Amino acid sequence: MAAADLEKAPPSYDTTTPGDHHHPHTHNHASLAPARSRSLRHEKHDKVEVDEIIQSEQVSIAGINERKLTWVQAAALLLTEYVVLAILAFPYSFQLLGYAGATITSVLIAASTWYTSLILWRFCMRHPEVRDIADAAQVVCGGRRIGWWLAFIGLALNNWCIMGLHTVAGATAIQTIRGGKEVTLVWAIGLTLIMWFFSNLRDFSSMSKVGMLASSTMFVCVLIVLCGHGVQPHPTGWTPGLVITHSVWAPKGTTFVQGMNALLNIVYTYIGHALIPSFVGDMERPQDFPKALAISMVAEVLLFTVTGAVVYHYTGFELTTAPAYGSLIAKYGKVAAGFTLPTICIVGILYSLVTSRAIYFQIFKEGSPHRSSHTLIGWLSWIGIVFGGWVISFIIGEAVPFFSDLLSLISSLFDSWFGYILWAIAYFQMTKGRRTAGAIATAETVLNVLILITGFFFFTAGTYASVQSIIDSYNKGAVKTPFTRANTGFVLDTF
């Protein structure tokens, strides 16, 4: 659906239930201002009402901004969220799914992500009171507080897992660069403290300024990985006589656990819905969000798929690694690993910001001086929340210190809900009474049924595969216990 059509879509959706006019919602909702709380009671939002609600929330007091994000800044944040280290796991998916299998999977997951992201945006436009994923879940659950709490817990765990992934990935990159003694745990602690310190920003407009740095350095890293594989004499690990092999589809012997992990790695790289309500809720003109989404999605499909296919071409089934810089020789691999560090830190900080804001908004209601002004209580609370989040993230990262396995676990537990299930349900709510009103509506309804089934499949079968893969990794790998001091970096060939 075109962006212009989508901008007109919100007023046509009926998201209320019988009795809404007689029984208005009575949330004790952390992130709902009075104007936005009132919007839950209305059966329809026209453009004027939505604009009035948004304008009433655009505050800039003492430098703490809300509702000031432009679509260009939103695009920068989306690129920051998506153009991340997980791109370098794409060759691993090609290794296990083959050229055609991985490419088709990438395109299908990208298309479903784009579509469900537009449903989510449309839902946020219909409900301008939504400021984060927990707000959205509460509305999807008919205003029931249990929906908010389940999504809030899921959002926090999802983001803490991702932050934990970045502590592990950062330590691995540093160990790859320096080699030497087994001090991975020390580097993980150091990176956690650094990211905590810089996580004390409090608005998205500040993050968007450094977000482009993260995207840029990751893009440079990808270029080094691609070019390095092209010019180096052979990948790390190659020995004379070793034949590099490839396959169009999943190679013979690929197990269900391996194939599902490869699929979930792709899902993880594309799914970022958990942050979208926060971005849309902070935009000055949320109706412009599809522009930002289009830019990020086109960039993702091209960058992800090309990276996976090109690296797999040079490393084949035998020598592919995750992250992909592990198959480069030292003079290229160490440089590529270095360029991942800014992205690792900045993206970790971004997820910390989203999570910390959600918690902070529960403590201080909208309109509180601690949210709009620089108060001692406000800053002490903020710093404590951020620090606690990073402690939890560090524990998660050290408990599952396997890059691709942790990606898969996050995908199965959280992306299944935040990327698929919730937005299929939201679609059914918004189209109540018109789901089969014509061929297009019927087809879209069938599509959302498939999206719902897909989400539950990822949640059940995917979680099983992820847990089994973690068990297998502990049994077979060099890392045998959590909080390991073992060197998790790559030992790169020097010739």
Q: What's the rounded Cα separation, in Å, for the pair 149 and 133?
A: 10
Q: Which region among 8-17, 316-325, 458-467 has the lowest average model confidence (pLDDT)?
A: 8-17
More confident residue, 63 or 468: 468
Domain span including residue 430: 69-476
- Higher pLDDT: 79 or 248? It is 248
For the segment 284-294, what is each residue's pLDDT rounded down to a tens digit? 999 999 999 99
Please name the residues in contact with 336: beta carbons below 8 A apart, sequence gap of 6 or more. 221, 224, 225, 228, 325, 328
Question: How many domains would you assign to the chain?
Answer: 1
In this prediction, residue 148 has a pLDDT band, given cuts at 50, 70 and 90, of: very high
**Span 164-176, mean pLDDT?**
94
pLDDT at 65: 56
Contact 207, 345 (CB under 8 A): no
In a domain, 166, yes or no: yes
pLDDT score of 478? 64
List pLDDT tens digits, range 115-129.
Answer: 999 999 999 999 988
Q: What is the pLDDT of residue 112?
A: 98
What pLDDT, on a 0 to 100 scale, did the predictor assign at position 135? 87
Higher pLDDT among residues 248 and 8, named by residue? 248
In SS3 terms, the chain reads as CCHHHHHHCHHHCCCCCCCCCCCCCCCCCCCCCHHHHHHCCCCCCCHHHHHHHHHHCCEEECCEEECCECHHHHHHHHHHHHCCHHHHHHHHHHHHHHHHHHHHHHHHHHHHHHHHHHHHHHHHHHCCCCCCHHHHHHHHCCCCHHHHHHHHHHHHHHHHHHHHHHHHHHHHHHHHHHCCCCCHHHHHHHHHHHHHHHCCCCCHHHHHHHHHHHHHHHHHHHHHHHHHHHHCCCCCCCCCCCCCCCCCCCCCCCCHHHHHHHHHHHHHHHCCHHHHHHHHHCECCHHHHHHHHHHHHHHHHHHHHHHHHHHHHHHHHHHCCCCHHHHCCHHHHHHHHHHHHHHHHHHHHHHHHHHHHHHHHHHCCCCCHHHHCCCHHHHHHHHHHHHHHHHHHHHHHHHCCCHHHHHHHHHHHHHHHHHHHHHHHHHHHHCCCCCCCCHHHHHHHHHHHHHHHHHHHHHHHHHHHHHHHHHHHHHHCCCCCCCCCCCCCCCCCCC
Comparing 45-49, 177-181, 466-470, the range with the smallest average pLDDT is 45-49
Q: Which residues contact 24 (CB under 8 A, 6 or more apart)?
A: 40, 41
Per-residue pLDDT for 215 more than 90? no
Best-predicted range by mean pLDDT (25-39, 128-142, 175-189): 128-142
- Lowest mean pLDDT segment, chosen from 63-77, 97-111, 469-483: 63-77
pLDDT exceeds cutoff 60 at 61: no
Q: What is the pLDDT of residue 281?
A: 84
169-204: b or e for each residue (b if 16 or more CB lie within 10 Å)? bbbbbbbbbeeeeebbbebbeebbebbbeebebbbb
Q: 66-75, 85-94, 217-226: which has the minimum mean pLDDT? A: 66-75
- Tell whether the model's pLDDT for residue 52 goes beyond 90: no
Distance CA 11, CA 14 (A): 8
Percent of the chain residues topping a pLDDT of 90 = 64
What is the reported pLDDT for 486?
Answer: 77
Asked if residue 481 belongs to a domain, the reply is no
Residue 301 covered by a domain = yes
Q: Which residues pair with 60 in a beta bridge?
A: 65
Least-confidence region, from 211-215, 261-265, 310-314: 211-215
Q: Give the separation between CA 349 and CA 340, rounded to whole angstroms.
A: 14
Q: How high does pLDDT run on average in the chain? A: 85
Mean pLDDT of 351-366: 87
- Tell me how far CA of residue 48 lies from CA of 11, 45, 51, 121, in angstroms: 11, 8, 5, 18
Is the pLDDT reported for residue 4 higher than 80? no
Rounded Cα gap, residues 305 and 300, in angstroms: 8
Q: Which pLDDT score is estimated for 278?
A: 83
Whether 426 is in a domain gets the answer yes
- For residue 340, what is the domain's CATH number? 1.10.4160.10
Q: Residue 258: is its pLDDT beyond 80?
A: yes
User: Over 70: is that where the pLDDT of 134 sits?
Assistant: yes
Q: Say whether pLDDT at 49 is over 60.
A: no
Please check whether residue 56 lies inside any domain of the structure: no
What is the average pLDDT across 60-87?
78
Average the pLDDT over 186-192 and give the result. 94
Report if residue 8 sits inside a domain: no
Checking if the pLDDT of 39 tops 60, the result is no
pLDDT tens-digit readout, 9-31:
433 334 333 333 333 333 333 33
Give the pLDDT band of residue 64 (cuts 50, 70, 90).
low
Q: Is residue 451 part of a domain?
A: yes
Residue 42 has pLDDT above 60, yes or no: no
Asked if residue 5 belongs to a domain, the reply is no
pLDDT at 240: 94
Burial class from Cβ neighbours inside 10 Å (0-12, 13-18, 19+) for residue 484 reads: middle
